[in-house]
Amino acid sequence: MSTATHRPVSVEELQRAFQAVKAGTFRRDTSSHSLVGARRDSASTWESDQPVVPVISCSGGAGATTTALAIATAAETSRVTECCSVTSSGLSAAPTAELGQTPDGWSRGTRGSVLVERASEVFTSPDQVTLPAEPPAGCELTVLDVAWDLSVVLSSPSWLSDQILSAPAVVVVSRATVPAMRRLEGALTLLEDGPTVIAAVIGPRRKKWPRVLQASMGALTRRLDADGLLVDLPHDADLALNGLTGRAIPTPLISAASHLLRLTGAGNTTTKG
């Protein structure tokens, strides 16, 4: 039995790994502590002919899947692709019609003009996630529900980390709580030299934030706020209790998601729920 131990990975190491992935300078390292593996072959890369918006959660239950679906719904013609194991899906009850599986294992369904894609397999790391299927004709936007801890994605080079690095803008989702704001600052630290980041914070309107919550904002979060890139999303009690179902997403959330989409510059928006 192996007696090897694993030391924690520091933020500085993750930032160096981020830069290596961004630059394409993957180093070959036989050490068990290596953050960056050898360059993957072309079969594990994915390029899209349409805009791609990655949506990243700061923590489990932050609301990233709901936000991703709301952004896709706000777009005129789009799909949302959930990049997690079948055992962790938050979109299983979201489609109003099921279309079956693609040959490469994606379960597809629809709700209005939005195509909903979920994995049908078990994945234990981001680099195992199947490449997205070919989008249907007329699909103008892909929203990726990243569905993994950001530090795990950036330390596991894959098509998914490539998309985060190459996207013009990403959406990072958090909650309006003090611990969640700390996690948001941590995510912004990892992405500081990467794509444009728009933060979506689910909770009360900004003017109703308690002082302690305002004070918990870190320097990078405050910079986003000053640049108009911190957007508050309304909390919906039914979504919090029941998760995503075939019920229409509330109009206030769609309106906020439309604003997020405009900030990314990735697509047109509609007011449909």
pLDDT tier, 269 (very low <50, low <70, confident <90, very high otherwise): low
Q: What is the pLDDT of residues 180-234, one digit of tens each?
A: 999 999 999 999 989 999 999 999 998 899 999 999 999 999 999 999 999 999 9
pLDDT value of residue 31 = 38
Assigned CATH topology for domain 11-18+50-82+141-264:
Rossmann fold (3.40.50)
pLDDT at 13 over 80: no
pLDDT value of residue 18 = 52
Q: Could you tell me which of 36, 14, 33, 15 has the C-alpha nearest to residue 25? A: 36
pLDDT at 100 over 50: yes
pLDDT at 96 over 80: yes
**pTM > 0.85: yes or no:** no
Q: Other C-beta atoms within 10 Å of 95: how many?
A: 21
End-to-end CA distance of the chain: 55
pLDDT value of residue 37 = 35
Domain boundaries, the chain: 11-18+50-82+141-264
Q: Could you tell me which of 182, 141, 191 has the C-alpha nearest to residue 164? A: 191
Average pLDDT over residues 230-251: 94
Choice between 81 and 18, residue whose per-residue pLDDT is larger? 81
Q: What is the pLDDT of residues 119-131, one digit of tens each?
A: 999 999 999 999 9
